[in-house]
Every structure is written in structure tokens, then in C-alpha cells.
Amino acid sequence: MNIIFCTSPFQVLVAREVAKVTGEKFFGVYLKMSNDNRQKIYAEKMKDFCEDTLFIGNKEWPSELREKLENSKIDKFYLASLDNPIAHSIFNPTFMKLFTFDDGSTSIIAPNMYTRYTDRVVGPKEITLENVINLSKGHYTIFDTNTVFPTEKLIKIPFDIEPKDFIRVTNGKTVKVFLGQALGNYIDEKDITITEKLTQKALKRLGNVLYYAHPRVSVNIENVETVQANKCFEEEIYNLLANYENVEVYGFYSTSLLLVKDIPGVSVHCFRTFLTTNEVEILGNYGIESTDLPLSDTEVDIVMPVYNREKTIGNAIESVLNQTHKNFRLIIVDDGSRDGTEEVCRKYLNDGRVVYHKVLHGGISRALNAGILLATAEYIARQDSDDEWMPWHLDFLLNELELNDKLDIIGSKVDTDKTKLQGGIKRNNFNNLSGEELWLKLAYKNMFNHSTVIYRKSAVIEAGSYDPDCDGFEDWHLWARVVTKDNALVMNTMTVYYGLPEEDNREMFFRSRLAKSRGLRLEDVLE
């Protein structure tokens, strides 16, 4: 006897294919993860390919499982949710062989929770995720690629779920549907709010649309028809095609988009948000188009001073234009550059949001003050001509500003290694710096990196703007006059790649040596 363990409707569909290709006998275990009616329905579906099943969702399951398996010898354990602690309380590596199968988007999206933290303990037997991956004798997959397991462990299986009695309609009708999904951590209250806001914005943009809620995520979506489906979307799509000739499917980055995109009559599209830039890029590799869906609608002017940066300013501008946030104006203040900087900048003036303003060379503070005078928005974001924003930078920080109207200035972290910033935003909710602690630390160290900062224009003007006599530490000098004990915040999340131009390499070399000698990172002395 073998155990096959599922926690979602999609996993049941894959498990069914696993049972077909192996031809083995299975005892099916379905762990209830929510109160959605599909949980029970798909647990029942496991009876189609399992000799016996158990639907567990309460504290009594250990005794129920022992009763079911009392006289059974378990040879193999099949698992999709690799880090599920209940599964690992059942699996015993001393006498069970482990096989694995697909778990939705985590199988193809990298980095994910599996690939990023493989050294974490996932079960009561002190087994780590790396142990689980190594123990797997083979991974059954319906995808062409996999981010968790090496190629030699992959066992490709078919995924044909079209009903035998399916009849496609040809009535010329079209329907739009949106697939609900949790963004971020679906048990985090802030992330639930973000999911609700972005979902609501997507539905408003689409107009008349059917909303399919995620079976494990309950969010509050107003004034939208929510479909009470009894099937997961990979099967529900055929019910739609039996009534509509064309089905337009929208979502954030669900595996369902990938699995239905090649069905005749179906078109798929995804929304790129500040939390899903990496996922959307990967879906794009599979031919799924996307559009940006900003979290924040707050208008912001971006001031970018530049002096002789023809080699780097193009990438800096591109990083601004690649933001998920779209309600901005980029004000480039050229401080009398004598190289090809102007020619590079003018290439972008076909975008109406980009403004180029050239002044006589007078230093960075005068250039910044000129940009501030040109700004009309309440908030000003700072960007340097040799740095690059990650796509989530503006949305991430503006959302925090919107949550706290007392803030006059906010910043984040930088990294000099761009590879560490790839793969989407990695939020760190710990060790954010604010209040009296930030105010005191500013007395001896610049706690803000200039190219990460967004500030309220009125607060900076009231403080006297940048002092031209302080070029080189003009930002620190300004923060000392702007920051109070309750109006500033530094987020402990990397949002900016801090570029190092060739002419600065020598200085950075010595700064790096100094930092290392004191047990610090280079990033610590760049702030």
C-alpha cells in the first residue's frame, strides 16, 4: 500500500495522473486547508483512484489515521506539499520510500519558499527541506521545467483533464473571468488588505467579470459576482466553454493560467503587481502577456540630478519606467554635463512622463533644488543617475506612506550585488527604523540612502531644501533638519541596486576595506 497526500484540488488532479502512470494501489489522505466547498469535493474525488481515503481537518485525525492504517504496510509515500508538517508526521524515512509531485506554481516559480530556504526544518523528525528533496526517489511533473528538483529526478506525466462528454459551444459569446489569489503571506493582515485592494482594482479595470475565489483564501471583494464553483478552474474552464465560445481568463500568476492557455477558445492575461514581478516574468517566458497593476495611485515626482553619467543614466531611467507604479513624472536635472548624458536622456522624452532640464554646472545641491522647484506633486522621490530601482520600489514605499499620514520621509535599503535583488521583492518586516531611535542615530550616521528616499515636498521646503555648501553630505544635512521623532521611517527591505561607477571604484575599495575591518558590510557604510 502507498499513501498519496494532497492539500488542494489541483494536487488531486495531478495525483490522479500519478496513479494512472504508476498503476499502484493508493491510500489517499486529503488535508483540509479551508472551509471552501471544493475541499470536501476533491477529497471525495480521490476515491476514484484510491482504494481508501481519509479527509482530515480536525484534531482527531491521528487516531483516525492509525485506525485506517492499523493493518497496512506502507511502502511508498507520495507528497506534493514538501514542507507540510502533518505529512511529515506520517512519513517515516526508515521504511517508506518518498516520491513527490507538482504543487502548483511552486514547481515552476523560482525563487520560491522551497528553493530559498532549504535548510529549514519541516517536520517533527527534524527533517529539513533539503533532506526531503534528496530523499525523493522521483518527482512526477506535468510541467516542462522544475525549480525544486534536478532534471534526473523528473518524471513527466500527461495532464489531460478534458471531460469525455465535453461539447464546445459556437455561439459567439465571450465571458471574462478573474482568478482570485493570495499575494504575499495570506495569513498576514497587511497582505490580506493588499490582496483585497489589488483584486478590487483588477476587477474594476476589467468591468463585467466573473470572480472565482481561491479555494484557500478568503478575501472581502465588494460588488462583484462571485462564482460558487464546485470544481477547480482547470476543470471549471470546460463548463465555461460549454456556454461561451470565448473565455478571457485574468489573474496574478496562478498555475491555472498556464494550464488553460492552450485550450481553443481560451485567452489568458496576468497583472504585474509589486509583489509579483518575478512570477509574471516567468509566466511571460511561457507566452502569457501582462499589464501593470499599481498598488498605489499617489502622484509622485522623481528628481534625478545627473552630471557626466552617460554610461549609467540609461539604466537608471529604465528602472524608473519599469515600476509597477505608474502615476509619476521623472524630472531629470542635468548639472551641465559635458559628455553624452544629454543625448541619452533625450531618447526618453517621447514618454510624456519624462522631463529634461539642463542647468549651468553648480553642484548636486543646486541641481536638486532646481528639481524640487519643478515638482508639483505632494511627494518627491529621489533617484541617482547611477543607481537602479527594482520594479517594486515606488509601490512598496508609497503604500507605507499611505498607511501613515504622519510620515514626511521614508526610505529603504540598497545592495551593491544586483543578483541578490533578483527574483522579486523579499520583504523584511523586522528591524525597520523609526521614531526616537532613528532620530538619535541620525546624529552620528546617515541612516537614509539618498536614492531610496521619498519625502513630502512641503517638509523639505520648510526645512530650507538642500544646502549648496554641503555638497557631499547634502542629504544627511537635510535629514537632520527634516526628521523629527515621529515623521520618518527606514524600511528594512532592499529596493535599490546601488551602482558603482568606474571612477568611484577606488574610493569604494577603501570604504569596503574599512567596513570589513569593523565587521560591517559595504552597504552599512553607504547609508
Q: How confident is the model at residue 59 (pLDDT cuts 50, 70, 90)?
A: low
CATH code for the domain in which residue 437 is found:
3.90.550.10
Cα 446 from Cα 377, distance rounded (Å): 26
63-72, 88-97, 366-375, 518-527: which range is least confident on average? 518-527
Other beta carbons within 10 angstroms of residue 63's beta carbon come to 9
In the DSSP assignment, the letter for residue 187 is T
Domain membership flag for residue 131: yes
Domain membership flag for residue 317: yes
461 and 485 fall within a common domain: yes
Q: Of 236, 266, 292, which marks where a domain is finished?
A: 292
Interval 24-43: pLDDT, tens: 999 999 998 888 888 899 99
Cα 412 from Cα 462, distance rounded (Å): 23
78 and 219 fall within a common domain: no
Domain membership flag for residue 168: no
Domain membership flag for residue 169: no
344 and 459 fall within a common domain: yes
Residue-averaged pLDDT of the chain: 90
Residue that is written with C-alpha cell 468591468 in the block = 207
Share above pLDDT 70 across residues of the chain, in percent, rounded to a whole number: 93
Distance of CA 405 to the CA centre of its chain: 25
Domain membership flag for residue 447: yes
User: What values do phi and psi take at 226, rounded to 5?
Assistant: -95, 125
Q: Which residues in 425-526 belong to E strands, given as ranges?
A: 433-434, 454-456, 488-497
Q: What is the pLDDT of residue 526?
A: 57
65-79, 165-179, 371-385, 482-496: which range is least confident on average? 65-79
Q: In this structure, what C-alpha cell is assigned to residue 235? A: 476543470
Domain membership flag for residue 165: no
Interval 283-331: pLDDT, tens: 999 999 999 999 999 999 999 999 999 999 999 999 999 999 999 999 9
247 and 331 fall within a common domain: no
Distance of CA 78 to the CA centre of its chain: 29
Interval 173-218: pLDDT, tens: 999 999 999 888 767 788 889 999 999 999 999 999 999 988 766 6
**Residue span of the structural domain in which 274 resides:** 174-292
282 and 357 fall within a common domain: no
Q: What is the pLDDT of residue 510?
A: 47
Q: What is the pLDDT of residue 73?
A: 86
Domain count along the chain: 3
Domain membership flag for residue 166: no
Residue 84 has pLDDT above 60, yes or no: yes
Share above pLDDT 90 across residues of the chain, in percent, rounded to a whole number: 71
User: What values do phi and psi take at 225, rounded to 5?
Assistant: -75, 115
Domain membership flag for residue 420: yes
Cα 47 from Cα 36, distance rounded (Å): 19
CATH code for the domain in which residue 232 is found:
3.40.50
Terminal-to-terminal C-alpha distance of the chain? 60
385 and 281 fall within a common domain: no
Q: Which residue has the higher pLDDT, 51 or 117?
A: 51
205 and 90 fall within a common domain: no
Query: What's the rounded mean pLDDT across residues 6-26?
Result: 95
114 and 193 fall within a common domain: no
Cα 334 from Cα 309, distance rounded (Å): 10
Q: How confident is the model at residue 379 (pLDDT cuts 50, 70, 90)?
A: very high
- DSSP letters, 277-312, are HHHHHHHHHTT--EEE--S----EEEEEEESS-TTT
Residue 147 has pLDDT above 90, yes or no: no
53-67, 220-234, 454-468, 513-527: which range is least confident on average? 513-527
125 and 183 fall within a common domain: no
Interval 244-281: pLDDT, tens: 999 999 999 999 999 999 999 999 999 999 999 999 99
